[in-house]
Structure 1
Amino acid sequence: MLSEGAHFMKGMVLGGLFCLLLALLGSLRLGTESGTVDHHRHHHVQAPSKDELTRLSDSRMQELSNQVQISCIIMVQPKILVYWATAANTWSKHCDKAVFYTSESSKALEAVDLNEKDDWARLRKALKHAYENAGDLRWFFVAQPTTFAIIENLKYLVLTKDPSEPFYLGNAMKSGELEYVAYDSGIVLSYEALKRLVHVFQDEEKCPERGRALWKLSEDKQLAVCLKYTGVFAENGEDAQGKGLFNSKSVYSVISDSMKANPNNVVEGCCSDMAVTFNGMSPNQMQVMMFGVYRLRPYGHDFHDLLMFDPPEGSDND
């Protein structure tokens, strides 16, 4: 009986240790998963402060504002034609160059047909095409048609940054050990970062066109893996106060979240007034956003901005 009791206690102890190990592994896994919604903690790219701009001469500010031009790479599919059409008729008109890349040909709207069903392979082809047709453009913004972008705020963010340096920024996230920029919030690449990326595309060992892993990485994570081999790492885009500029949620959602988390200071707790992107809005909500951002004006109010980004010729959204 004593032997049986000893075996019983031994089994209880081992079982308890096993359960404890499972709990620890579970907490580690949850910790890793929760890390996917945390902002990037180590690398930050901040927009210039007003004090920083006032130290620049008028001629230098004008030179910078003329130099900063954005090439928008917008990934679309015919099955979401209504979002595609909305992006084409709203915020993308403020890009200095906007090219839509589609998975298959469509007679409804103009786009580059990549004839590719795989999401990652299609993104690779689009980035390579944008690089080869960049011309004088030195900043690249990759977006989905469900993302709404305020291009002037993006220009302000990168105003004093050198595109010959490898910038890869947006809403920086972490998944396990991998730091990446969330696709749904928009991805910004400098010319140097895109140049390195296109180069590593040629190395199938480091950056395969077709995933060879047991599980398939999303496009934004695969992009981060390839860039990591070139020495380019994800950076979080922020305003001068440290608030994130790239949002994976709609305006309604971020305000609703702030009302719950910061009921006594909703606006300050919500988001930056220099926000670059929002996501998850319906086409009608995007049209309303265009009205609020570009058309609604309080009569007699002067914003006293230190510089101006003129919209591209032909833009009818101002």
Structure 2
Amino acid sequence: MPKFLIRITFISGAIMGFLLGLLLLPSHKKTGKIHLTPESKPVVKPYEPWFTGQNLQRHVIPIDTLRYSGLDYYTESMYLYNKIRILCVVLVHKIKYAKASLMTWTKQCNHIELVHLKPSKIGVKRKKEDAAWPLLCKTLVNTSKSFHWVFVVNDNTFALVENIRYLVAPLNHSSQYYLGHAIKFWGVKYNVGSAGYLISNATLAALKLNQRNSCITDSVIWNLEDYYLGKTLSQLNITVYDTRDELGFGTFHGFNLQKLFFPGSTTMSNYYKYSVYPTPCCSPKSVTFQVSNSNSMYTYEYLLKQLQVFTSGTLGNRAPATQINKDEVWKSILKQHGYTNTNVSAEEYYEFWVNLVSDPTSFAQKIKTRN
């Protein structure tokens, strides 16, 4: 069997196992319990009471109707997108991961900032200001206060921003929150960067006030920006919260799905050994997990965001009332991009598409803006 078929089969199997696991987890409601420690600060609040408090009502619309009725519907995800403004800060180690992020999950962010981290090279003199923490700190200090939440994540992490909004919707962003997967290391409680972390607008304001003069720490370890952020916030009396769901399952995950679902593959790691709150995997409301390669992001994007299950309806099987000439389709695309003369040759049309998608970053931004 060709290697690429083996890889596709393996990835598909892992994803199906993950999705089946999420479907089966609710069956544990009778036995699932959160084991609170004396220092536990639960943050997860029920979403439904908050939704009802907004004087909103939801109606289930079949996928067939959404796709083929020709009508516009204001969906719950659209409402939350406009209601809860999230800035996504992606720490870039490898360009291919950053490009994959821009083409997939970050489309649900209200705005995106890329922080390009410089690799740590042995034998090369390094400047403190080029370390991960000063770079992240400067980005946060210069961030607009118009965002309700700031989500910081590594480039090899896939995030479900919709689930982040479900998590934070009942919370007041004007209060100080610092959310993620909490560990305690070197006497500091902080949210580990491999799982991503959230800070509220009020926390960002406190950080700006504290760090407005300098973001350079006397002793900077190159890639421990998560530790230094937690240390800085702890000095401001802003500490970690318990982000497990109501059944006690973790929502922020610093491993890829293969490791998360192989028993014993992660339990002895420092990630779990130093966890402030025991976190069995995995919540149906999970918000982050890592990917083993950049191509996996496109697979997850398709399975989690684009693949749709049609359980009823016949609109999609009907021929359109007005048939559209095929030539009008590609001509309309040219007009959208400023072409007044649509009488182009096949070679010219091919060259148009090559130029359009040659820069994945700008192409992703164009598609995001149009959507």
Aligned to 1:286: 297
C-alpha RMSD of the superposition: 3.5
Tell me how far 1:296 sits from its aligned partner.
1.6
Tell me how far 1:56 sits from its aligned partner.
5.5
Structure 1: state its 5+ residue gaps.
Answer: 1-38, 105-114, 262-268, 303-311
Structure 2: state its 5+ residue gaps.
Answer: 1-36, 59-75, 119-127, 268-279, 314-364
Q: Match of 2:150, SS?
A: strand
Matched, 1:298 2:309: yes
Aligned to 2:83: 67
Aligned to 1:166: 176
Q: Match of 1:249, SS?
A: strand
Residue pairs, 1:36-185, within 5 angstroms:
42-50=40-48, 53-54=51-52, 57-58=55-56, 66-77=82-93, 80-103=94-117, 117-129=130-142, 131=143, 133-134=144-145, 136-185=146-195
Q: Aligned in 2, Cα 1:97/1:250: closer, same or farther, shift over 3 Å?
A: same
Residue pairs, 1:12-51, within 5 angstroms:
42-50=40-48
Q: Aligned in 2, Cα 1:258/1:144: closer, same or farther, shift over 3 Å?
A: same
Alignment check: 8 A CA contact 1:236 1:244 kept? no
- Structure 1 length-normalised TM: 0.67
Tell me how far 1:280 sits from its aligned partner.
3.9
Q: Aligned in 2, Cα 1:171/1:88: closer, same or farther, shift over 3 Å?
A: same
Q: Percent identity?
A: 24
Aligned to 2:219: 212
Q: Match of 1:235, SS?
A: coil
Name the count of aligned residue pairs: 245
Quote the Cα distance in structure 1 between the aligned partners of 2:39 and 2:370. 36
Tell me how far 1:183 sits from its aligned partner.
0.7
Tell me how far 1:52 sits from its aligned partner.
5.9
Tell me how far 1:243 sits from its aligned partner.
1.6
Q: Aligned in 2, Cα 1:317/1:82: closer, same or farther, shift over 3 Å?
A: farther
Alignment check: 8 A CA contact 2:131 2:222 kept? no
The residue type equivalent to 2:92 in the other structure is V
Aligned to 1:245: 251
Quote the Cα distance in structure 2 between the aligned partners of 1:220 and 1:100. 16
Q: Match of 2:252, SS?
A: coil
Q: Aligned in 2, Cα 1:59/1:203: closer, same or farther, shift over 3 Å?
A: farther
Alignment check: 8 A CA contact 1:40 1:174 kept? no
Quote the Cα distance in structure 1 between the aligned partners of 2:48 and 2:205. 32
- Structure 2 length-normalised TM: 0.58
Quote the Cα distance in structure 1 between the aligned partners of 2:173 and 2:202. 6
